[in-house]
Structure formats: C-alpha cells, structure tokens
Amino acid sequence: MWLGPEEVLLAGALWVTERANPFFLLQRRRGHGKGGGLTGLLVGTLDVVLDSSARVAPYRILHQTQDSQVYWAVACGSSRKEITKHWEWLENNLLQTLSIFDNEEDITTFVKGKIHGIIAEENKNEQPQSEEDPGKFKEAELKMRKQFGMPEVEKLVNYYSCSYWKGRVPRQGWLYLTVNHLCFYSFLLGKEVTLVIQWVDVTQLEKNATLLFPECIKVSTRDSELYFSMFLNINETFKLMEQLANIAMRQLLDNESFLQDKSLPKPRKPLKNISALKRDLDARAKNECYRATFRLPKDECLDGHTDCTLWTPFNKMHIPGQMFVSNNYICFASKAEEACHLIIPLREVTIVEKADSSSVLPSPLSISTKSKMTFFFANLKDRDFLVQRISDFLQRTPSKKPCSIEREWKWNLADPGCEEVPELPSSSPLAVSPTSALSNRPVNFCAGEVPTASQGLLKLFRRNSEELLGPKGAKEKMKEESWNIHFSEYGRGMCMYRTAKTRGLVQKGIPENLRGELWLLFSGAWNEMVTHPGYYADLVEKSMGKYSLATEEIERDLHRSMPEHPAFQNELGIAALRRVLTAYAFRNPTIGYCQAMNIVTSVLLLYCNEEEAFWLLVALCERMLPDYYNTRVVGALVDQGIFEELTREYLPQLSEKMQDLGVISTISLSWFLTLFLSVMPFESAVVIVDCFFYEGIKFILQVSLAILDANMEKLLQCCDEGEAMTILGRYLDNVVNRQSISPPIPHLHALLTSGDDPPLEIDIFELIKTSYEKFSNLKADDIEQMRFKQRLKVIQSLEDTAKKSVVRAVSSDIGFSIEELEELYVVFKAKYLMSCYWGNNRAAAARRDQSLPYLEQYRIDMEQFKELFISLTPWSCGAHTPVLAGRLFRLLDENRDCLINFKEFVTGMSGMYHGDLTEKLKVLYKLHLPPALNPEETESALEATSYFTEDVTTEETQEDKERRSENGPEKEEKGTSPQDYRYYLRMWAKEKESKKETIKDLPKMSQEQFIELCKTLYNMFSEDPVEQELYHAIATVASLLLRIGEVGKKFSNRPMRKSEDCKANNTQDPVSEEESPTSEQSQNSAVEQQPQADHEDKTCGDAQPEKTQQENQTLGDGSGEGQGSPLQLLSDDETKDDMSMSSYSMVSTGSLQCEDIADDTVLVGCEGSSSAARYGSTIDTDWSISFEQILASMLTETALVNYFEKKVNILQKIKDQKKVERQFSSSSDYELSSVSG
C-alpha cells in the first residue's frame, strides 16, 4: 500500500535491493523469501521480538535522488505481486515526468505531493470501518490475520509480548487475543512456534507461580496444557483472557454470540494502542460489576465513576467512597465495605445543584429527590463535568404518566421524607402490603378482578392466630418498630442509606408486614417494576390460553407447590401461581419453566401481590441466580463447584470425606435451587430468603458451610452416602423459628426421625449468627471470580457429557468406532460454531434449541456440510465433489428443513467408509435417484411421490400387486375392512421391516440418472494411482449395462413402431419422471452438443434408416480412438468433468455398434445439451436398469472391486483437515517454511 513519505536514513540495513532506477528502489527484507542464511535468521528473529512492521510488509519502495543521502519510503507490500503493481505504476506514470526536473528538491517535493494525493484519493473511496483503532493496532491486526489465516470478521482484541514455555525452554513471541481464538507466534533463529486455540476449547485458566515457571498463565484444553509468562502486565492479560473465555462459554451455553457495542462513549483523551473492542470489553466488565453491586437492571450501563465523600446524617460524618453515574441511577459505595451504600434513581431526582465550596466541603454537590431527601456529595474532582452529565441523563429520563405519579404520591402519604404507604390494620380482610399501592389500579387478568392482584396470599389466608396476642406478637411488633425507627433515620424506599445496621436488622428477621416491600428493594426488582407499568398484566393477557411444553410442566407441578399451606389448597392460590409462572415462561422462553421455580414463586406470592412476585422471580432467575433455572441447571452446578472449593478451604477434614461419599453434589442442588425452602420448615427457610435478598448467593454458601460444620463429627463417622443424607436431613428438619407469628405449617419431612431420643432443635437465628461469625469473610468479588473458574469446568463437562451421549446414541447403528465418532463430533461441532461467529448472518445461532435432545442441538446447513464432505470424503471427485455433497445432503435431510444433525451426518459418512462393495454402491446409487438428484423441482409430482417413502412406497405397491395376484381376492377384502386389526398389524410390521432396506427395495434407474452415475464415477477415479485401469473398467461396465438396459426394454414393454417412439419422444412433456435437471457442470457441454442435438432433432422426423445411419456414424467416430485407450479424450481436467465427454468415452469401446442400442446412443450423445435441445431430443423413457444389474456388472471388474473395498482411515482425514484449517492464508505470500529451513 502507499505510505505517507517517511524519511529512511540507512536504506541498506537489513534490506536487499532487488530493482532500481534513478529515482526509486524496490527492496526486500533480509530473511524473507528464499535463502537468507544466518543474517536472514537473525533479521527474522529481530522482527518478531521487536514486533517490526516488516513482518507484515517485507517489501518496500524508496524514493531517492542521486546526490542526497536521505531516502523516503513511499510504498510497502505484503507480497511481491502487490509491490510490483506499485513499482510498475511509478515507472509508467512518474519516471518520464521526473526526468524533466533540474532541481532534486523539486523532484522530492513533487513525488511527496503525488503520493499524498494518491493516499487522499484512496481514503476518499474507502469508508473507514474502525476509526477508533490506532494505527499501530491496525498493523498488529493485519499481522494476526496473515500469520494465522484468519478472516476479516475475526477481530483482534489485544496483543501482548510474552514467552511460551515449550518444554523447559521459553520462546519469546507475541500473544494475540481475538474474540474467538488465542494465538501465539514466535520465530527465534529459524525455530518457529505457531499456536491457535479456540476459546470454546479452553477447560481451565489459571494464574500461578511455581519454581519451574515464574509468574505465569496456564491455559488448559482437553489435549494440552500451555504456559505463558514474562508479561508486562499479567493481571490485565489474565483478566482479558477470562472475559473472552467467558464469552465463549456463554456461546456454548445459550448461543449468545459476541456483538460489539458501537455506542460506547468516545474517550476524552486518545488511547494509545487500545482497540475499540478492548474498550468495549473493559466497559462490559465494569458494567457487570456495577449492576451486581447495586442490583440494577441488566440493561443499565455505567457512564463513569469518581472519588468523593458522602455526608451521612445518621452519624454526622463524611464517608469516603466512589460515586457511580449511569443512564438512570446515581450510586455511591463507601471504601469501607459495610459503611454505606446508596442508590438514587434519576426518576426520583428533582434538583441537582452545586453548593458553595469551603475548606471543610470542597466542591460540594446537592441532589434532592421527590421524597424530600437531600444528599450532599463533596470532594468531587470534576464537578462541572459531572453536573453536566447528570443533567443530560435527567433530560433523557422519561417523564412519568399521570397515573404513575399519583400512585407514587399515594406511596408517600404517611411520611413526606420517605417512600411509604399508610399501613392498614393487619386484622382487616382487605389489608394490603406496603407496596401494593403501585398495583391498585383495576387489574383484569382475563377473568375480572382477582384479590391477588393487590395483596399477598398470606393476608388473604391468615388465621386468627393466638400468637398475635402473645409474646410472639409482641416480638413481631418490636421488630416492626425497629424498622420504623431505622426508616426515620436512614430513609425508606430505593433511596435508603444501606449500612451494617440494615444488615443486622435483616439477620434478625424481617417482619411479615414489611417482607414484600424489603424483598423488592433489596433485590432491585422494585426498579424494574416501576419502570415497566402494566407489563405483567399484558403478559398475563398474552400468555393465557397459550399451550407449550412449559405450560404443561407448570400444570403438572402446580399442586406440588407447598401443598401443606392453606393458600395453595384452593383455586385462588393455584390460579395466581399459574399466572405468574406462565407469564414468566412467556417472557423468557429460553428458561421457560424449571422445577423448583414453583416452590420459590409460591413463597413470593405469600408476601407479595402477583406483579411484585413476578418481578422478584425475574430478579431471581436473571440476575441473582444466573443460569440456575435453565434446562441443565448450569448456575446451580457452578455454585455447587464453588461450595466444594470452599469446603476444601474452610473444612479440609470434612472435604475429603464428603468427596468420597459423593454427598455435596446431592445435597447442594436441592439447597441452592429452592433456597432451602424444600428442605427446611417454612418459617425458618423464609428467614434464609430474607438474608439472601440482601446478601445474595454469598449468604447461601456461608449457611451451607455452617450446616456442614455443625454436623462435622457425625459426618466424619458416616459409612455411606445414605447415612450422611439422613444426618443432614434430620438436622435441617429441626431448624426452627421460635419467633414466627404464623401458625406452624406441617413440614413434609424429607427423612423420618428414628430412635427414642427427641431431636435437638436448632434456632434459625443462631444458625445465621454462627454462619456470619465463622464464614463472613467470604467476598462477593471472590465468589464471582470462582464462578468464572467453575463455569469453565461445568460447561466443558456438560459438553463432554453431550458428546458421550450423542456418540452412544449413534454408535449402535454406525460402522465407526467410538474414537472415530468422538473426533467426528468435534469436527462437526466446530463447523457449527464457526458458522455462528464467522457466518454472514446470525441465523446459525438460532438453529440451536437447548430444549432439544443433545443429538439435535448442533445442526449444519448445506454449505457447511459441503466443506466437511470435501475434506472428509473418501470419494474425491474433483470439481464434481460439491455436486455430490449437495446430493448426499438432500438424501440425509429427511425432514427437509435444510439442516442435518450429527446422526444424519455420520450416517452419510459411514455409507462411504464402511460396509462391503454392495453397501457403498447402494449409497452411490441412491445419490443418483430422487430426492438427491433433483432438488429444483420441489413442486413437481415426481418429487411428491419420490420424497422419503418413494423408495419404499413404490416397491411396496409393486409387491402388493404381486401378492394380490398370487393370493386372490382374500387380500383385497382384508384391506377394505377397517375392523380387521390383524391387517393393520401386518401393515405396521411391514413398515417396521421396510427400514431394513434390501437391494430389491431400490427403484430402477432411468437413462438420465445412469448417465449422471457414470459421470460421477469418471470424476471419482481422477488422480487415482490406477486411474487408467479404472477408466477402462468403467467403460466396459457402462457398455455392458447400456446393452442390458436395451434388452430389458424389449421384454418389459409391448412392441412399438420406431416411428411412433420418435413422435412420442418429440411431444413428451418436458418435466417428466425421468427428465431430471442435470447438474451445473452439464451446462458447459451445451455448446458442444447443440449442433448434434439440432441435427438429430431434424432426423427424428425423417425415415428411421437415416437416423440409424447417423447414430452408427457417431459410434464409429467414438470408437476411432481404439479400444485400448478409451480415455484419451479426458486428458485435461475440464473435459474430465464434462458430461458429454464422459458419455462419449463410455460408448467408445467399439462394442456398441449395434442396431438395438441406436436410440440409446443418441441419448448419450446429447445428454449434456441445454434444456431446449433436450426437450426436443429423443429421450428413451422405457430404458431402465436395476441396482442388481449394476452390482453384478461391477463385480466382473477387479479394479472396481478393489477401489470400493479399500480401507480409508478417517482419523487421518480429520487430522489433515485440521492442519488445512490452521494453514496460513494463501494471500499472505509469506514463505515462512523456507525461512525456517
């Protein structure tokens, strides 16, 4: 490419001049291309280590003048072809002009101006695609593409200098991290190392330091372990690798392929060597951390953060921390973890103003809300910019509808300083939860007003318990009073100051009247509910009456959801549960419905109205317990892995015992999926849920550890899994909540207690207190880090399980070994995944349905199948191979959705690799019959009868006729009697038997189909070691079969005069059963055959002797080549693939000069002609040949038998295919192999 002229002082250093004229030099980098010797090796090594641009552009053109010592680089090129093009342009357009100048400075000025003009013209024509990427980075991306043969769509994220440890020797080179691959390249003194690893193949990423390896990153795959070290910034590199591997796992899990965010704000300062993609990934990481910390909706994007202090009125202090600003929220997190958290929704903000600075409060900022709360921030570095950003976001915040404002003011009636609703007496039958004012508009859930639209089930079904008047009632009132005092000091609603005191109150149990409100606030569900008014009601309306697999499962589980609670012993509670679960399944079909969701949702409905319960379920499934409730409960398995890891760390003695017993995997799923609701008495488990909504998964893990710790001595003495399960089950059954004011709900004990001693009761609050005392040092950030590590392990384990399941499912019917099937599965899956991230469209990702069996999840289309077929088939047919691949695909695609699964794929491959000559020929024979042969005629009657059952149906009817003629009318009578079940049983048995296809089931082949078969065989034998023998053998067989077909025609049809045949053929309908459209290659022969076809069309109407004479002449010409050399016409590749040439060669043995086959030879001669010629030509519709006849003829030729019975190693083919995929791009013209030699 042309370069803006750059000054070069030492033109000869490390470069070799290849061409020169008075004004320009064309140079090649030493070490590039052939030769180079030791100097070349040293230069190549320097280029790699120093990341020289000469690796990408080993050719350049310099401008020089005779007396000057300074040179100017004006062009560079990656290949000789590219640089030669520039050189020729300079010679043709500039040399003559430059010779006119007298002054050398004028020459240089003119050349510079001309080159700048060319570059400006090129830039004007090309639309810059990634302006944000700096020049140095673009150069690195170009190196990556050329070095590893990656396409344009594969984007480089970042690259790092590092060492790869090959054995005990470090190889210094460059690590390229792309969206889908990890690549490494090193070239040291002729020793070259090239690595390409897909992120989806990575099973483990670790950052560690050992005696052998200094601080390094270990990348594990199923086959190898790779070590990289000597990074300038190892933490940044490792974090990026984790992100990319996580994106790949997400793709495996739910098809979320990576899409770059184009709406990122531009950096205020230019960033050196940081790509837009790297900025995008950094922003994603920050967004995820921000959303998780403050429980914000999934679409919230962080705009920026800054250090500041927050004035906290409850303790009269300025707390240092960070302010975070995003599209819809202003948040604050103190540096001391438990000191203070604050979330201010912009929808609540009324005034943002800058206060006067002072020495005590420099750069203060005041933010006021609708609830009359004011927040003071100080020590802001760039206050003016921050105020401007907040103002911009406030302008974009959608104004609320009047009804929403009215509802919100209702919320604030009781206390103008906080979000609260006046509390009705709990004894009132219409008592509502504090949050229900939001939903007190009439909600018509398709069946009129329902009570659960405005309040929780617990208030509708509360019994007049004596507990309300006793000590438990007094305790409950004290709790409520404690919370009211807390609200008055710290605020209420979303803008509450959240401190260690808040957590302390949650640990003591949330009062029942406040439970729904605080669950919504702490989980963040409140934000989504307020910003989506009416969403739930619309979903209910849309989903009611819709039937799916999810709704069927929901109906099955409705009556299993807390059946012991009175609220779910009648239709009101069941109907509410049905609506919430169905609405969620409708909102998120990826999850749909999973067992355990019913138990959790039923508890939510006790304390919240339907809309609130729905949004809590959304928060639970999509943010707080990610991937828990999908078809493979991946999230729960990930957290189970974390639990095992934490057990090893905190309870090392018990860990080994639990591993031996295999208990952790059994217990943890039921604990985590239902948040202990299914294993603990309801009154106790609901306190666990209180803490979970405040703390997240961290609390569930620490309580689980506390339970194991409390039972350690008993568990260490266990002999088997059953005994350990009994101990833990008995313990959990007896965790009690002595403060609960609700009447006790009978708990369905998982295990019956045995023995005479009464069980020891454990107070839930004591258990929670113990868990905080012993395991409170668990950090949310550490858990997220562990989640990543475990997610890699779990998803790869699930993929291995899927592979084994698929291989096991197909191995019984397929000739391949287990090892071969596993390798084929890897190749098949890789091809599918490649289409997801390198395909022209994203349709490939939509093909994968997680609800399908493993065998159906990965499916490929025709283009991908062709690529696999070409690289793996033992029947290489040159240019004809894609045509054969297309036919096989259509044969395998039985349901005609243009996609095939793995079983169909290996069935096709097995037909070519396994079985005897008969089986392989049968596959080849089917590829030349409908539906494989003619995909275009989808509407024709021919395809309608031949699709799927064509092979079976036509033959069955023929058999029925024969049997009917043998057995007389008895068969017909049974067939017409609908009451005769024995007849239907026989028909069913016959259908089952028909799956075992015999050679007699195959329909006969028409003349056109036979010609196609011969053409395929001719192409198949090309470049075979015994090519000539095979050609001679197939010519002999084809001659014999043509005569057999002709003789068979005489026996099978009534005699007709030849002139009538001719007329019938001329008037034949163009779209007949035998006239299937020929392949694309046949169009090439149309020009050659047109004169002959026209001539024969004329002779067809004349006397028959003239026609016969013409045909004999044709045969004579064909046989003139001599019987011993029938294939001299096929010497070059194009004629080999030409149908007409194949046809002529087939009949050129001289043995066909016979009156009986004259009609046939005319057909063979004009087969390749255009459709217009074919429709007028003499197609012999009566000619046919059977599979048995072809097989018998083939068996007479040893060369053909040997060809089809030779064994081919598919594992070697797969190995070669992987090598080809990893070869360097052919456009690079970078002869690395010769350099290393």
Tokens read off for 1142: 């194949």
Give the three-class secondary structure for 1110. Answer: helix
Instruction: Decide if pLDDT at 1178 tops 60.
Output: no
Q: Which pLDDT value is given to residue 343?
A: 95
15-20, strands of its sheet edge to edge: 2-8, 71-77, 59-63, 24-29, 15-20
Separation in Å, CA 828 to CA 608, 823, 1214: 49, 9, 11
DSSP summary character for residue 914: S
Mean pLDDT of 709-724: 90
Instruction: Decide if pLDDT at 1135 tops 90.
Output: no
Confidence of residue 89 (pLDDT cuts 50, 70, 90): confident
Answer whether 385's CB lies under 8 Å from 568's CB.
no
Q: List, for residues 860-902, the tens digit of each pLDDT value.
A: 888 889 989 988 888 888 888 888 999 999 999 888 888 898 8
Separation in Å, CA 542 to CA 536, 539, 591, 975: 10, 5, 18, 48
Tokens read off for 555: 């109906």
Q: Which pLDDT value is given to residue 1227?
A: 34
Q: List, for residues 588-644, the tens digit of each pLDDT value.
A: 988 889 988 999 999 999 999 999 999 999 999 999 998 899 888 899 999 999 999
Listed in order, strand segments (DSSP E) in 690-748 are: 735-736
Tokens read off for 810: 């197909």
Report the alpha-carbon distance of residue 13 to residue 16 in Å, rounded.
8
Measured in whole angstroms, the distance separating CA 306 from the mean position of its chain's CA atoms is 37
Residues 6+ apart with CB under 8 A from 1146: 1014, 1034, 1035, 1038, 1039, 1042, 1164
Tokens read off for 212: 């052998």
Question: Residue type for 372, please?
Answer: K
Instruction: Decide if pLDDT at 126 tops 80.
Output: no
Mean pLDDT of 675-697: 93
Instruction: Return the closest-CA partner of residue 443 out of 371, 537, 353.
Output: 537
- 1115 against 694, higher pLDDT: 694
Listed in order, strand segments (DSSP E) in 138-279 are: 156-166, 169-178, 181-188, 191-198, 202-208, 216-221, 225-229
- 100 against 863, higher pLDDT: 863
Q: List, for residues 745-763, the tens digit of each pLDDT value.
A: 765 544 444 555 667 889 9
Tokens read off for 551: 């709704």
Instruction: Decide if pLDDT at 1124 tops 70.
Output: no
Report the alpha-carbon distance of residue 707 to residue 1064 in Å, rounded.
90
* Exposure letters 123-138 (e unless 16+ CB within 10 A, then b): eeeeeeeeebbbeebe
Burial class (CB in 10 A: 0-12, 13-18, 19+), 884: buried
Q: Which pLDDT value is given to residue 853?
A: 77
- 777 against 338, higher pLDDT: 777
Residues 6+ apart with CB under 8 A from 990: 956
Confidence of residue 86 (pLDDT cuts 50, 70, 90): confident
Q: List, for residues 379-437, the tens digit of each pLDDT value.
A: 998 889 999 999 999 998 876 543 333 333 333 333 333 333 333 333 333 333 333 33
Answer whether 1008's CB lies under 8 Å from 1074's CB.
yes
The backbone region for 239, taken as left when phi is positive above 0, alpha when psi lies in -120 to 50, beta otherwise, is: alpha
Confidence of residue 1215 (pLDDT cuts 50, 70, 90): confident
Which H/E stretch holds residue 319?
Answer: strand 317-326
Q: DSSP letters along 473-484, please?
A: HHHHHHHHHHHH
Answer whether 28's CB lies under 8 Å from 166's CB.
no
Angle between helices 1187-1194 and 917-926 (to 10 degrees): 130
Q: List, for residues 1005-1040, the tens digit of each pLDDT value.
A: 888 888 888 988 888 888 788 888 999 999 999 999
Confidence of residue 954 (pLDDT cuts 50, 70, 90): very low
Q: List, for residues 1143-1159, the tens digit of each pLDDT value.
A: 333 333 333 333 333 33
Q: Which pLDDT value is given to residue 429?
A: 33
Q: Which pLDDT value is given to residue 528?
A: 93
Beta strand 225-229 pairing with 216-221: antiparallel
Q: Which pLDDT value is given to residue 10?
A: 62
Rg (CA), the chain: 40
Instruction: Decide if pLDDT at 258 tops 80.
Output: no
Q: Which pLDDT value is given to residue 1111?
A: 38
> How many C-beta atoms surround the C-beta of residue 513 within 10 A?
20
Q: List, for residues 446-457, the tens digit of each pLDDT value.
A: 444 788 888 888
Instruction: Decide if pLDDT at 1103 tops 80.
Output: no
Residues 6+ apart with CB under 8 A from 534: none
Residues 6+ apart with CB under 8 A from 438: 407, 411, 529, 530, 611, 612
Average pLDDT, the chain: 75
DSSP summary character for residue 900: B
225-229, strands of its sheet edge to edge: 191-198, 181-188, 169-178, 156-166, 225-229, 216-221, 202-208
Q: DSSP letters along 448-477, please?
A: SB-GGGTS-HHHHS----GGGTSHHHHHHH
268-272, 621-625, 643-647, 1185-1189: which range is least confident on average? 268-272
Q: Which pLDDT value is given to residue 308?
A: 94
Q: List, for residues 1030-1087, the tens digit of each pLDDT value.
A: 999 999 999 999 998 888 877 765 554 444 444 444 444 433 333 333 333 333 333 3
Instruction: Return the closest-CA partner of residue 596 out of 505, 669, 529, 666.
Output: 669
Separation in Å, CA 620 to CA 285, 523, 576, 627, 1054: 21, 8, 18, 10, 78
Q: List, for residues 794-814, the tens digit of each pLDDT value.
A: 999 988 988 998 898 888 778
Q: What backbone phi and psi angles, to 5 degrees, belong to 64?
A: -145, 160
Q: List, for residues 299-315, the tens digit of each pLDDT value.
A: 899 999 999 999 999 88
Q: Which pLDDT value is given to residue 1223?
A: 45
Instruction: Decide if pLDDT at 333 tops 90.
Output: yes
